[in-house]
Amino acid sequence: MAVLFGGKSGEHEVSVASARSVMAALAPARWEVVPLAIGRDGSWLDPIATQDGLDGDATCFDGGKALLEAGSALGALATCEVAFPLVHGKNGEDGTLQGFLEMAGIPYAGPGVAASAIGMDKALMKALFQEAGIPVAPYGVLRAWEAREQDDTALRFIEANIGYPCFVKPANGGSSVGVSRAESREDMGPALGMAFDYDDKAVVEAAVNGREVEVSVLGNEHPEASVAGEVIPDRTFYDYESKYAASSTTRLVIPAGLPNDVSQRVRDLALRTYQVMGCEGYARVDFFVTADNTVIANEVNTIPGFTSISMYPKLWAASGLEYADLLTRILDLALERHERENRS
């Protein structure tokens, strides 16, 4: 099997850490692992160079070849029974890598092309949720040219429909990279500028005063939901530093301290959201729960962090499915889906 990791996004190091954990936990009696790194420049390294990087202290894998010239990497991938993509961001979890694997006829872990593409684009995701009647916070979408050419109009729209405080996010991004909180009109210029550094489309979303609750979902046609967990960030909001900095004191509380009926409602909505998105394999579904126990969908993460201490596997461990067994189940689901699709 192939483990694909690295990539162009700001979550490159997170992907590398996930790959190390996954490869260390897979049972060697069943899985012969082929590691394939994708550099920050989009180049593909061959398995030997990738393994050399994993054995050393490297956190950035560069010096490979463009995809169509990476004969040794592609040849190694072609021998694999199944692939486990752990690449975040552009050309990783946005449906493009999934489409490549589909065309190559290689089964792969996680959601398919459409669900991955929607999961990457927060604007499309929230529109789909609204259409399906899944509650979301008030939000709007701005293109870079709109903010540049229609500055006052854009700000008036935000103030009339969303208000302050609000969060400004790149529509396509992850791990809160490029996300900032705006308390007033004066904050909007820098916040939009930061978001547009990562994407030409920004989502502006009303700040929700609530608890951050997450559920891990696993399965194809009949998915299951883990117990719910709560993230208690160590700062105003759960940003990149709060998630990954060594100095972070963010806490993960599993199970979340919710009333039983609210916890069940969150888990039920996680399953519905997962299926509305068209997800299969696995994904993490994130919510806000307000003081009056209103549940609001935040987003679906189609390739969540996968170290042994990441929220997705920790939620399943608390639900009775340990890390190594979870990985095998995910790979079995990939093979099962591939077999089913080839019968149709």
> What residues are labeled active site?
11, 175, 244, 284, 286, 299, 301, 305
Q: Which of the 8 DSSP states describes residue 300?
A: E
In sequence order, what are the beta bridge partners of 46?
A: none
Report d(CA 300, CA 94) in Å as an integer.
12
Q: Are 267 and 255 in contact (CB under 8 A)?
A: no
Q: Are 92 and 303 in contact (CB under 8 A)?
A: yes
Longest alpha-carbon distance in the chain: 63
Nearest to 216 by CA among 60, 113, 329: 329
Report d(CA 321, CA 327) in Å as an integer.
10
Q: Are 285 and 270 in contact (CB under 8 A)?
A: yes
Q: Which of the 8 DSSP states describes residue 31?
A: -
Copy the structure tokens of residue 82.
């199944």
Instruction: Return the amino acid letter for 141.
Output: V
Q: Are 247 and 263 in contact (CB under 8 A)?
A: no
Q: Is the backbone of residue 41 left (phi > 0), alpha (psi -120 to 50) or beta?
A: alpha
In sequence order, what are the beta bridge partners of 211?
A: 289
Residue located via tokens 């989502």:
203
Report d(CA 142, CA 171) in Å as an integer.
9
Report d(CA 265, CA 29) in Å as an integer.
40
Report d(CA 340, CA 331) in Å as an integer.
14
Q: Give whole-number Cα distances, 71 to 68, 76, 81, 192, in Å.
A: 7, 8, 18, 41
